[in-house]
Chain A
Amino acid sequence: QKEVEQNSGPLSVPEGAIASLNCTYSDRGSQSFFWYRQYSGKSPELIMSIYSNGDKEDGRFTAQLNKASQYVSLLIRDSQPSDSATYLCAVLSSGGYNKLIFGAGTRLAVHP
């Protein structure tokens, strides 16, 4: 079992819809969670961080965290074609010095 699991996709949504991206993790001691966006051929770009159970909103993005279920999600409202990218879930390992453990990413395709 991988430490951070994501559905590889592609997740296809129409423009204007809500895209829902999910992630589960195995390290119960983890306290910090991040979502990165990666366009093809580019490096990961940090879009959200979340540390407490519940929801955190930033513009069109909402991150949700449930530590008891070891589950993190990212909602993108009013999806745009420019949101088409791979979304990487990252979990800060409890066992090392600030080591991020990444999932393999979910590819999102927003079609007009």
Chain B
Amino acid sequence: GAGVSQSPRYKVAKRGQDVALRCDPISGHVSLFWYQQALGQGPEFLTYFQNEAQLDKSGLPSDRFFAERPEGSVSTLKIQRTQQEDSAVYLCASSLSGRADGEQFFGPGTRLTVL
């Protein structure tokens, strides 16, 4: 298992429920990213961690979205009080270094459907 892994792969939530999405980056990768991909669109940046520090959360769409990476490895993206517009694929990516030209490698994604 050398790649980025995410769980669950699929999540169905009722409007108003809270969800938590998990990402396991490639071992040793310093940088971790969350992106949101709507159908027919490219991924959109949500937030960035370098080790345990959240350096950029400018893409989080509202204060219902929260991400953490407490020990600098596994990360969790939490969405509170889900809304229908939150339905999307949530992609996690990791990069070996914190350098700005680092290549990012994506996990399989979590498809979230909010009913």
Contacts and interface: CB of A to CB of B under 8 A. Distances in A.
B101 A97 contact: no
Contacts of B101: 31-32, 49, 51, 92
Nearest to A44: B106
Indicate the size class of the contact surface on chain B. Answer: 20 to 34
Contacts of B55: 97
Interface in B85-108: 89, 91, 95, 98, 100-108
A69 interface: no
Given A99-B45, A101-B45, A103-B42, A42 B108 contact: yes
B56 A97 contact: yes
A99 B48 contact: yes
Contacts of A42: 108
B25 interface: no
A34 interface: yes
Contacts of B95: 98
A43 interface: yes
Interface in A1-57: 4, 31-32, 34, 36, 42-46, 49, 51
A46 B42 contact: no
Contacts of A32: 100-101
B73 interface: no
Contact of B59 (A51, A98, A99): A99
B102 A104 contact: no
B104 A46 contact: yes
Q: A-B pairs with the 8 shortest C-beta distances?
A: A102-B42, A97-B56, A32-B101, A43-B106, A97-B55, A99-B45, A43-B109, A44-B106
Given A97-B48, A98-B33, 6 more contacts: A43-B107, A98-B56, A98-B102, A99-B56, A99-B59, A105-B42
19 contacts: A4-B42, A31-B101, A32-B100, A42-B108, A43-B91, A43-B108, A44-B43, A45-B106, A88-B42, A92-B101, A96-B48, A96-B58, A97-B48, A97-B50, A98-B104, A99-B48, A99-B59, A103-B42, A104-B42
